[in-house]
Chains A and B, each alone.
Chain A
Amino acid sequence: MSQIFLDPDRYDPQRAKDYSLTGEQAQRAEEAGLVSAVWYQCPVPRKRMKELMQRNDGRAIRDTAIWLGAMILSGWGGYVFWGSAACVPFFLVYGLLYGTAANSRWHETGHGTAFKTRWMNDVVYQIACFMVMYEPQVWRWSHARHHTDTIIVGRDPEIVEPRPPRLNMMLLKLLSLPHVYTIFKSLFLHATGQMSAEEKTFVPESEYPKVYRTARIWLALHAAVIALALYLNSWLPMMYVLLPTMYGGWLSYVFGLTQHVGLAEDELDHRKNCRTIYMNPVFRFFYSDMNYHLEHHMFPMVPYHALAKLHEEIKDDCPPPYKSIVQAYREIIPTLLKQRKDPTYYIKRPIRESASQAAATPEHGPVERETPEPRQSAFN
């Protein structure tokens, strides 16, 4: 999961590396064997992994009801107190639920792991995508690529901060301004029946008609909200749709930066390019437990509500988790400052030697099973 998609900031020819998906770095990644490669996985017994992978409608229904219920309550409070300072805390909460909590909801339902029932995942996915303005078909495919080629330069469309980082751009990203600008450009492009060259590298052609249809519907919905605001001569309608993506997305960006920023690029081991951070229950609710980000990337089949248990299973084979988001930022901020001068600098996470050696000779199907695996034919 990440915050900014197809960020124009990535296409600067002055950068040492070309972060676009159609440039020479994409070719280099292929030649280096980094494309669709086999990644290290910590050993987990198959029986335990099956338990962890189990879906659960009840937990996701509860969390979704709290999420949407809190939006209705805070939105109602904002309406009642509109025009006075008392509306501010209500919209602050509404914005965080809309622009931040929805970010982790589209992600989890996009994986299909939040609910056991498929249509529930699909409905929440569409709603959450609209809130954070991630086009549902494009993002489903970009995120599949992100999991295939995590932080592989030239392949991963969801690298949040290309090196060297630009602090002024990062400040704008706190308000989602580059994202909203880019997404409207993208919506207009798609509404006219066109895909960008980058998107064509990871979205199959069969999906294009759905992308075009969604773009037209979204533009119509946003136009209706803007028209209503103009008709009422009030910002109020836009406080509920569109603006909360910007005024409520800052916490999502704060979370998103912790996932991979400052860690290794072009490595085939999630322990080297993902962070797991212990967070308080409120943050975990807003973030759908994506603070266990290493675990999520290594085993994307495990639902958010089981990631803490998965963490207990594999933590001895992983770098130590960060004790808090503050501890993570004590590492991230100095790293970003160093990378402005030296883009090759990054944080090397401590990994046990034995595990690293295992990573060097991975095989498909590395999950440890109780029966010998794989079965070999006696007639080979």
Chain B
Amino acid sequence: MSNQWVEVCHVDDIDEEDVIRFDHEQKTYAVYRSHNSEYFATDGLCTHERIHLADGLVMDFVIECPKHNGRFDYRNGKALNAPACVNLKTYPVKVEAGMVLLDTQGQGAA
């Protein structure tokens, strides 16, 4: 499948160690900026109860769901503890000309 890079936001629109919600073509994503300013993206909804992860807490490379505190490693989507049991899908992200781009058709580390 060919890449489909879409523009998400300016690099500074996401604080360090934070996450934003990004909606595109009926799908919602969570786009992360780590504490060392690396960018990552996953599906936007928790695999446990379809809660938006963008309202959760980013700690190091972990996103914690705001409703039931399920945790994922947002670099590879791995579910780290109950009630999150199913991994998140991840997506490639790159930065070009100060903008964060997300490949909606790509497959990340997971």
- A residues adjacent to B (C-beta < 8 A): 36, 49-50, 53-55, 111-113, 116, 118, 137, 140-141, 144, 147-148, 204, 206-207, 299-301, 364-367, 369, 371, 373-380
Contacts and interface: CB of A to CB of B under 8 A. Distances in A.
A23 B60 CA distance: 44
A contact patch SS: loop
A364 B50 CA distance: 9
Given A36-B50, A365-B21, A374-B28, A379 B6 contact: yes
B24 A301 contact: no
Contacts of B9: 371, 375
Nearest to B26: A380
10 A-B pairs with least C-beta separation? A377-B24, A374-B21, A365-B52, A375-B22, A53-B57, A144-B83, A144-B68, A112-B69, A364-B52, A374-B23
A149 B47 CA distance: 17
Interface in B25-68: 25, 28, 31, 48-52, 54-57, 59, 64, 66-68
Contacts of A371: 9, 13, 20
B85 A204 contact: yes
A140 B82 contact: yes
Contacts of B23: 374-377, 380
Contacts of B82: 137, 140-141, 144, 207
A148 B50 CA distance: 11
Interface of B: 6-9, 13, 18, 20-25, 28, 31, 48-52, 54-57, 59, 64, 66-69, 71, 81-83, 85
A118 B59 CA distance: 12
Contacts of A144: 48-49, 68, 82-83
Contacts, number: 94
Contacts of B48: 144
A11 B55 CA distance: 37
Contact of B67 (A148, A366, A375): A148
B54 A380 contact: no
Contacts of B18: 50
A374 B68 CA distance: 21
B89 to A, nearest CB: 17
A147 B68 contact: yes
A129 to B, nearest CB: 14
A112 B64 contact: yes
A140 B81 CA distance: 11
Contact of A379 (B24, B28, B57): B24
Given A365-B52, A374-B21, A379-B24, 11 more contacts: A50-B57, A112-B64, A144-B48, A301-B69, A365-B54, A365-B55, A366-B55, A369-B20, A373-B21, A375-B20, A378-B6
Among A36, A53, A118, A374: residue with most chain B CB under 10 A: A374
Nearest to B55: A367
